[in-house]
Amino acid sequence: MTGLVIRALDESTVHVFDTLSDPLSARDAHRPVQYRPDWKRVALRDGAVVARGAWWGGPDDPEPLLVDHFDVAEGEEDAGAELLRTAPWQVDHLEINLPSGWRDAPALRAAAEARFTAVRRAGYELLVERFVYRWTPQCGLPERPGRLVFGADPDDAVFFDALRRIHSVTLDAHARRAIEEGGVDRAAQEELDFFRWCPSPREWWQVARTPDGEPVGIHIPAHNPSGPCIGFIGVLPQRRGHGYAYDLLAECTHFLVERGAEVIAGATDQGNFPMAAHFTSAGYPVVRELATFRAGSDVSAG
Q: What pLDDT, on a 0 to 100 scale, did the predictor assign at position 296?
A: 85
Chain centroid to CA 45: 32
User: What's the confidence (pLDDT) of residue 140?
Assistant: 97
Distance CA 220, CA 239 (A): 18
> Given this model, what pLDDT does residue 1 score?
52
Q: Where are the alpha helices (DSSP H) in the chain?
A: 77-85, 106-121, 156-167, 173-182, 184-197, 244-258, 273-281
Instruction: Tell whether 183 and 151 lie within a shared domain.
Output: yes
Q: What is the pLDDT of residue 136?
A: 97
pLDDT digits (tens, 9 = 90+) for 123-165: 999 999 999 999 999 999 999 999 999 999 999 999 999 999 9
CB 230, CB 252: distance < 8 Å = yes
Rounded Cα–Cα distance for residues 225 and 234 (Å): 22
pTM over 0.85: yes
Give CA 173 to chain center in angstroms.
12
Give me the CATH number covering residue 38: 3.40.630
- Length of the chain measured in residues: 302
pLDDT of residue 24: 85
Rg of the chain on CA atoms, in Å:
20
User: In angstroms, rounded to a whole number, what is the distance separating the alpha carbons of residues 197 and 222?
Assistant: 10
Indicate whether 185 and 224 sit together in one domain.
yes
The answer to whether residue 301 is domain-embedded is no
Q: What are phi and psi of 162, to 5 degrees?
A: -65, -40
CA dist., res. 99 & res. 180, Å (int):
31
Residue partners of 88: CB distance under 8 A and separation at least 6: 301, 302
**Which residues, at least 6 apart from 191, have a Cβ–Cβ distance to it below 8 Å?**
163, 167, 175, 232
Q: Containing domain of residue 67, as a range?
A: 4-130+291-295
Q: What local confidence, expressed as pLDDT, does residue 301 receive?
A: 42
**pLDDT at residue 300, as a whole number:** 47
DSSP character string of 136-203: -GGG-PPPP----EEEE---HHHHHHHHHHHHTS---HHHHHHHHHH-HHHHHHHHHHHHHHSSS-GG
Residue 278 covered by a domain: yes
Residues 175 and 56 in one domain: no
Instruction: In whole angstroms, give the CA distance from residue 195 to residue 38.
Output: 27
Per-residue pLDDT tens digits of the chain, which is 302 residues long = 568 999 999 999 999 999 998 888 754 555 567 789 999 999 999 999 999 999 999 988 999 999 999 999 999 999 999 999 999 998 999 999 999 999 999 999 999 999 999 999 999 999 999 999 999 999 999 999 999 999 999 999 999 999 999 999 999 999 999 999 999 999 999 999 999 999 999 999 999 999 999 999 999 999 998 899 999 999 999 999 999 999 999 999 999 999 999 999 999 999 999 999 999 999 999 999 999 999 986 664 44
- The answer to whether residues 116 and 196 belong to one domain is no
Shared domain check, 277 and 151: yes
> How many domains, the chain?
2
Q: What is the CATH number of the domain that holds 276?
A: 3.40.630.30
Strand partners, 151: 207
